[in-house]
Amino acid sequence: MFGFNREKELLGLDIGSYSIKAVELKSKKKEIEELYEVKKIGYELLPHDAIVEGTIIDSAAVVETIKMIFDENKISNKNITIGISGNAVIIKKISLPSMETEELAESIIWEAKHNIPYPYEETNVDYAILKPSQYPEETNLDILLVAAKKDKIANYSSAINQARKNLEVIDVDVFALQNALEVNYPEIFNEKTIAIINLGANITNVIIIEKGIPQLFRDLSLGGSFFTENMSKDLGISFDDAEKLLKGLPVKDIEPERFQTILNMNVQNIIEELEKTFSFYEAGEKKERKIELIFLSGGLSKLKDLSSNFEQKFKIKTDIFNPFRRIYFDERKFDSIYLEEMAALFGVATGLAIRKVEK
Please name every residue paired with 14 in a beta bridge, in sequence order, or none if there are none: 21
Are the CB atoms for 40 and 23 separated by under 8 Å? yes
Rounded to 10°, the helix 150-162/59-72 angle is: 50
Listed residue (62, 59, 75) closest to 16, CA to CA: 62
Listed residue (242, 212, 215, 227) closest to 300, CA to CA: 227
| Least confident stretch, 11-15, 62-66, 90-94 | 90-94
The pLDDT value recorded for residue 141 is 86
For 73-149, where are the alpha helices, taking DSSP H only?
101-115
Q: Give the chain's radius of gyration (CA, Å).
A: 21
Q: Give all domains of the chain, ordered by start, each with its CATH number.
A: 1-89+149-185+325-359 (3.30.420.40), 187-321 (3.30.420.40)
State the DSSP code for 187. Answer: H
The pLDDT value recorded for residue 89 is 94
Average pLDDT, rounded, for the chain: 91
Size (the chain), residues: 359
pLDDT band, very low/low/confident/very high, at 7 (cuts 50, 70, 90): low
**pLDDT surpassing 60 at residue 137:** no
By three-state DSSP, how is residue 37 classified? strand
Q: What are the pLDDT digits (tens) for 151-163?
A: 999 999 999 999 9
Q: What is the DSSP string of 195-261?
A: EEEEE-SS-EEEEEEETTEEEEEEEES-SHHHHHHHHHHHHT--HHHHHHHHTT---TT--HHHHHH
**pLDDT surpassing 60 at residue 357:** no
**pLDDT surpassing 90 at residue 304:** no
**pLDDT surpassing 50 at residue 359:** no
The pLDDT value recorded for residue 235 is 94
Which stretches does DSSP call E strand in the chain?
A: 11-15, 19-30, 33-45, 51-52, 55-56, 79-84, 89-97, 123-131, 140-149, 166-172, 193-199, 204-210, 213-220, 293-297, 317-320, 327-328
> Who's near 240: CB < 8 A, 6+ residues apart?
none
CB atoms within 10 A of CB 247: 10
**pLDDT surpassing 50 at residue 20:** yes
Residues 34-61, mean pLDDT to the nearest whole number: 93
Q: What percent of the chain has pLDDT over 70?
A: 94
The pLDDT value recorded for residue 98 is 84
CB atoms within 10 A of CB 355: 22
The pLDDT value recorded for residue 169 is 93
The pLDDT value recorded for residue 105 is 87
Q: What are the pLDDT digits (tens) for 284-297?
A: 765 678 999 999 99
pLDDT band, very low/low/confident/very high, at 134 (cuts 50, 70, 90): very low
Q: What are the pLDDT digits (tens) for 191-232?
A: 999 999 999 999 999 999 999 999 999 999 999 999 999 999
CA 182 to chain centre: 14
By three-state DSSP, how is residue 283 classified? coil
Q: What percent of the chain has pLDDT over 90?
A: 73
CA 58 to chain centre: 22
**pLDDT surpassing 90 at residue 53:** no
pLDDT band, very low/low/confident/very high, at 2 (cuts 50, 70, 90): low
pLDDT band, very low/low/confident/very high, at 133 (cuts 50, 70, 90): very low
